[in-house]
Amino acid sequence: MLSLLTRLSMTATMLAAGLALITPASAASAQDFPSKPLQFVVPYAPGGPLDSMARLLAEKVQPDLGTVIVENKPGAGGNIGASIAAKAQPDGHTLVMGAVAINAINPWLYQNLPFDPVKSFEPVTLVASVPNVLIVNKEFADKNGINSVKDLIDYAKKNADQLNFGSGGNGSAGHLAGELLNVRADVKSVHVPYAGAAPAKLALLGGQIHFMFDNLASSASLITEGKVKALAVTTVDRSSAFPDLPTMQQAGVADFDLGTWFGVFTTGGTPKDVVQKLNAAYVKALQDPAVRKTLLAMGSDAQPTSSEEFAEIVRKDLAKYKEIVEVSGAKLF
């Protein structure tokens, strides 16, 4: 009969042998990444700025990462697509094109979010920062002499409850920006939600709504073609794509800082060395002059970061938008 000491010694030997077998395999899996095509989930419908950026980058990273398949999974404000990446195997083979709306705003709007905004994802890199822009129906603006944010606020004060604004839906970034303007400027414009930013823009062009806050990348062509009147961007800094546009704060609305960012995430728990390999490939793509030029034409400034820097941006914006949702009075779903 084996002594206790002998049994303990044998157990330790077996554990050591097991670890010796496991460790090289784990290292090899990270070293050999990727071992299959990557799935790059876009949580919105095809054709929008998020989709265009994802497809541009998917092509550019293929020399370093192999085949990248872009899949559109829209619905529930981006939550459906994000949850696919959140629930995937944590091996880096599933990516999602995240956005401030999904990763920093939705957690405060949805009561039963199908993922944790921090634990479910590993940030890879910020892709681009895009201001939102205050745009006004051109005919309405020309008829009432509205050429600045101050003009719009003055009109709202003189015509109580006669001004309305549209957005891509309750709780969207455009909705929050409009409600924040009401609070900061002490006016009472009425919110009209639409099933997406695209139909809201059609309503703006048709005169059904007076103004809206839209993603600058999405509205850039309407502005350059003179189909709408742009008054200001919503970020602290001006946009390099439209440097003549003032910021909302420069236009006289204090404490107004609402931007949109897009970024690449993978599944939470993915090994750090795999995340770093993904980061290196996407940062390289974002430093490509042709990519930067394309993004700038879309009204976006390429802003590659480290994984850690991107994680800090998400953390800060989660805190900021929690306050903004409360101030705006946007209803939780």
The 3-class SS string of 188-257 reads CCEEEECCCHHHHHHHHHHCCCCEEEEEHHHHHHHHHCCCEEEEEECCCCCCCCCCCCCECCCCCCCCCC
Predicted confidence (pLDDT) per residue in 168-215, tens digit: 888 788 999 999 999 999 999 999 998 888 899 999 999 999 999 998
Residue 313 and residue 168 share a domain: no
> How many other C-beta atoms lie within 10 A of the C-beta of residue 170?
15
Residue 303 and residue 273 share a domain: yes
Judging by beta carbons within 10 Å of its beta carbon (0-12, 13-18, 19+), is residue 238 exposed, middle or buried?
Answer: middle
Q: Which residues of the chain have pLDDT under 50?
A: 1-2, 4-28
Q: Please choose, from the candidates 266, 318, 267, the residue with its C-alpha nearest in 3D space to the C-alpha of residue 61.
A: 266
Residue 227 and residue 183 share a domain: yes
pLDDT score at 333 = 56
Count the domains in the chain.
2
Please report whether residue 41 resides in a domain. yes
Domain that holds residue 195: 131-233
> How many other C-beta atoms lie within 10 A of the C-beta of residue 16?
10
Enter the pTM of the model: 0.79
SS3 46: coil
CA 176, chain centre distance (Å) = 15
pLDDT score at 29 = 52
* CATH of residue 145: 3.40.190.10
pLDDT score at 9 = 47
Please report whether residue 152 resides in a domain. yes
* CATH of residue 309: 3.40.190.150
Please report whether residue 26 resides in a domain. no
Decide: 145 and 151 in contact? Cβ < 8 Å. Answer: yes
Residue 213 and residue 139 share a domain: yes
